[in-house]
Amino acid sequence: MNEHLLELCLAGAVFVATHLGLSSTRLRSTLAGKLGERGFLAFYSIVAVVAIVWLVAAYRASGTTTALWGGDPHLRWAAFALMPIAFVSLVGGFLVRNPTAVGQESQVGAAGEGAGMLRITRHPFQWAVVLWALVHIVANGDLASIVFFGSLGAVSLAGTFLIDRKKAARLGAAWLPFANATSNVPFAAIVAGRNRLVVGELVLPLAIGVALYALVLLWAHRWIAGAPLI
């Protein structure tokens, strides 16, 4: 293992440990008790920024690493087909009242059975990141991509369960109606008959999400990732 890949592995481990450790263990309550809630959020934000900057820098420095698979154009086109879903989920999560979002716990009563993407999953942002990470791992197939995207995807996937646990503890009985009407796993509540798909509520997320995807596909990816997609 070369030194750049080793640094990437370390950066990935720190990213995962700090995000999950600071947000979902007893360390959070300890620090919040000493720093205050705002002080803790400021500290957490600084650590998160440092961790993600280091992770990105280490990934860029890793260069070409051992390819476990890749080179299949079908995998590339599969990525093109799936990424619009991630963009729509990402956008949809910001267009509705979402009690799982930071600082929006007070919306739990008004959220009801959710709207738009929340009918599909109450964690649209996290699942967008998970899908984005999986798509890039499959399309790239090299060790560096597995570590980089795997770290980001793992934090988001774990976050869906940890956020539910924190909201349930913080909101108590007020959390139950929303939690029972929605699901963590996409479409699970709809399949179980606890919710319904309302296509009209998805028109705006679809329009904005697809437009953003087209922008990234045609132009922004070269500036974000250093390489054009097409």
Rounded Cα distance between 55 and 9, Å, is 9
Q: What are the angstrom distances between the C-alpha of 215 and each of 3, 5, 9, 75, 218?
A: 35, 31, 31, 21, 5
Given a contact cutoff of 8 angstroms between Cβ atoms, the answer to whether 109 and 97 are in contact is no
Give 83-133 as a 3 state SS string.
HHHHHHHHHHHHCCCCCCCCCCHHHHHHHCCCCHHHHCCCCHHHHHHHHHH
Given a contact cutoff of 8 angstroms between Cβ atoms, the answer to whether 130 and 107 are in contact is no
| Cross-strand partners of 142 | 67
Domain membership of residue 201 (yes or no) is yes
For residue 2, give the 3-state DSSP assignment: coil
For residue 227, give the 3-state DSSP assignment: coil
Task: Note whether 169 and 87 are same-domain residues.
Answer: yes
The pLDDT of residue 1: 60
Q: Which domain holds residue 220?
A: 67-224
Domain membership of residue 120 (yes or no) is yes
Given a contact cutoff of 8 angstroms between Cβ atoms, the answer to whether 35 and 29 are in contact is no
The pLDDT of residue 79: 83
pTM recorded for the entire structure? 0.89
Given a contact cutoff of 8 angstroms between Cβ atoms, the answer to whether 24 and 166 are in contact is yes
- The better pLDDT of the pair 23, 175 is held by 175
Q: Which pair of structure tokens corresponds to residue 100?
A: 């799982």
Domain membership of residue 160 (yes or no) is yes
Count: domains in the chain: 2
Of 35, 63, 91, which marks where a domain is finished? 63
Q: Is the pLDDT assigned to residue 229 strictly greater than 70?
A: no
Task: Note whether 95 and 161 are same-domain residues.
Answer: yes
Q: Is the pLDDT assigned to residue 214 strictly greater than 80?
A: yes
For residue 68, give the 3-state DSSP assignment: coil
Of 42, 63, 84, which marks where a domain is finished? 63
The pLDDT of residue 104: 83
User: Where does 141-219 have alpha helices with state H?
Assistant: 143-171, 175-181, 188-191, 203-215
Q: Which pair of structure tokens corresponds to residue 25?
A: 């263990």
- The better pLDDT of the pair 215, 9 is held by 9
Task: Note whether 168 and 127 are same-domain residues.
Answer: yes
Task: Note whether 141 and 189 are same-domain residues.
Answer: yes
**Each residue's pLDDT tens digit, 103-119:** 788 888 888 889 999 99
The pLDDT confidence band at residue 80, using thresholds 50, 70 and 90, is confident
Domain membership of residue 106 (yes or no) is yes
Rounded Cα distance between 152 and 144, Å, is 13
The pLDDT confidence band at residue 25, using thresholds 50, 70 and 90, is confident
- The better pLDDT of the pair 83, 28 is held by 83
Average pLDDT over every residue of 41-68:
88
Task: Note whether 80 and 149 are same-domain residues.
Answer: yes
Question: Helices 37-62 & 3-24, crossing angle to 10 degrees?
Answer: 160
Task: Note whether 5 and 82 are same-domain residues.
Answer: no
Alpha carbon 47 to chain centroid distance? 18
Q: Which of 55-69, 184-198, 211-225 has the highest mean pLDDT?
A: 184-198
Task: Note whether 72 and 8 are same-domain residues.
Answer: no
Task: Note whether 198 and 118 are same-domain residues.
Answer: yes
Q: Which pair of structure tokens corresponds to residue 66?
A: 């051992």
**Each residue's pLDDT tens digit, 156-199:** 999 999 999 999 988 999 999 999 999 999 999 999 999 999 99
